[in-house]
Amino acid sequence: KEKNAHQPEFLQAAEEILLSLTPVFEQHPEYIEHNILSRIVEPDRIISFRVTWQDDNNKVHVNRGYRVQFNNVIGPYKGGLRFHPSVNESIMKFLAFEQIFKNALTSLPIGGGKGGSDFDPKGKSDAEIMRFCQAFMTELYRHIGPDVDVPAGDIGVGGREIGYLWGQYKRIRGAYEAGVLTGKKPGYGGSLARKEATGYGLVYFVGEMLREKNESFLNKTVVVSGSGNVAIYAIEKAQHYGAKVVAASDSSGYIHDPEGIDLHALKEIKEVKSERISSYLNYRPNATFTAGCNGIWSIPCDIALPCATQNEIDGDAARLLIKNGVKFVAEGANMPSDLEAINEFLANDVYFGPAKAANAGGVATSALEMSQNSGRTSWTFTEVDEKLQEIMHSIYAQSKEAAEKYGFAGNLVVGSNIAGFVKVADGLVSEGVY
């Protein structure tokens, strides 16, 4: 704790996992003997670098870039790149740490990593985004590779940015190593259904949670925060199953449309025009817009899907959701609920799906993209989607079974932490001390 005292997000993520592991250590003395705990909380390496780029007025800017290569016991480091002004070493480390266990849960051969920059893409021209991506990759390329470390997108990094990063990597390396990045567009090595995978996967996971309680999405009221990649495709799939999604947000505020979100309008605002979410009222005048994000959790719902960013649900927001009757909460974003919120949900009979299980569909499909790249082939949307459904089913089953095995039946936080951890710990023991 002292060593990382200046890294609150990393400490929060580590605490959430480590608190779940006591029963595991009681049953696995070999983990204590091999000092797995100390080995697993220390990243293999943290790379930090200067990114210098020029804006459209020829002004020179400097940002900081990161890649945290946390653990590669199960496969090459794998995790997204985030471009957002809030990015710092603590946030990179928490995301990479979570990624280790999430990736282990997918049962695919991928280790844990994460990267990004404090660069703010908002308000930048397309040419500025391209120059930034090229400058970023000019430094990052020496640390990654299809068998070493495979970055992907995250907040602020979508298909356009991955395209620019990929172009620069290819130019520098002089080789067509398609498997070095995932989230590429279909047509030059991308996988169909990758764009939809995190949101769809989240809804498949919630489908398993609902089935457990003999419920379904039909006619359920759902609140989704965010309106980015994860949120949009979670809304799409939840609506497909008959749910009524009544709210969405961005960092400026949230919209409430009691008749159900018009997804076509939301996609046009976010995917085509890149406008603020308040523009939604131009399409649906009866909806309301409220400035500020937190209030979204005051809207009564059966199912809450936080899909924006870390720590968007605190204890107060959780208590409000519970008071208004929420029964299911599942995390599309990484660590959107703080520890107090999670404890409120668990103590009040809310069935809670933690991020590392519920949003693993994105990285799982990234691993499927790597498989397609290695096999120099591409699968249909339906093939990928079917595999995604199987993977989400398996993640749910592993989390549920691990919780039961270690005496925490119904607690998917403990279950997913243990199921992921045991795979990585066993790998560390087998590899010997290094």
Give the one residue of 41, 133, 246, 333 binding ligand NDP; rule: CB under 6 A: 333
368-376: list long-range contacts, CB under 8 Å, 24+ apart. Answer: 368/108, 368/191, 369/182, 369/183, 369/184, 369/189, 369/190, 369/191, 369/194, 370/110, 370/146, 370/150, 370/179, 370/182, 372/189, 372/191, 373/146, 373/178, 373/179, 373/189, 374/146, 374/179
- Is 90 annotated as contributing to ligand binding? no
Which residues are marked as active site? 114
**Residue 60 to residues 48, 63, 229, 319, 398: CA-CA distances in angstroms?**
19, 10, 30, 47, 50
Instruction: Kindly state the smallest distance separating residue 74's Cβ from ligand NDP, in Å.
Output: 18
Which of 65, 153 has the CB closer to ligand NDP? 153
Backbone phi and psi for residue 198, each to the nearest 5 degrees, phi listed first: -70, -45
In the block, tokens 């250590």 appear at 25
Which of 24, 81 has the CB closer to ligand NDP? 81
Burial track 179-193 (b if 16+ CB lie within 10 A, e otherwise): bbbbbbbbeebbbbb
- The reply to whether 98 sits near ligand NDP by the rule CB under 6 A is no
- The reply to whether 156 sits near ligand NDP by the rule CB under 6 A is yes
Residues in contact with ligand NDP, shown as a per-residue x/- string from 186 to 225 under the rule CB under 6 A: ------------x---------------------------
Question: Helix, strand, or coil here: 309?
Answer: coil
Which of 160, 393 has the CB closer to ligand NDP? 160
Q: Which structure tokens are listed for 32?
A: 């204590």
How many residues sit close enough to ligand NDP to count as binding (CB under 6 A)? Answer: 23
Taking the C-alpha atoms of residue 35 and residue 187, their distance in angstroms, rounded to an integer, is 46
Which of 138, 310 has the CB closer to ligand NDP? 310
- The reply to whether 293 sits near ligand NDP by the rule CB under 6 A is yes
Instruction: Kindly state the smallest distance separating residue 202's Cβ from ligand NDP, in Å.
Output: 9
Give the one residue of 7, 63, 221, 227 binding ligand NDP; rule: CB under 6 A: 227
Q: Would you list which residues are annotated within the binding site for substrate?
A: 78, 99, 102, 153, 366
Residues that bind ligand NDP (CB under 6 A): 153-156, 198, 226-231, 250-252, 293, 307-309, 332-334, 359, 362
Q: Would you list which residues are annotated within the binding site for NAD(+)?
A: 198, 229
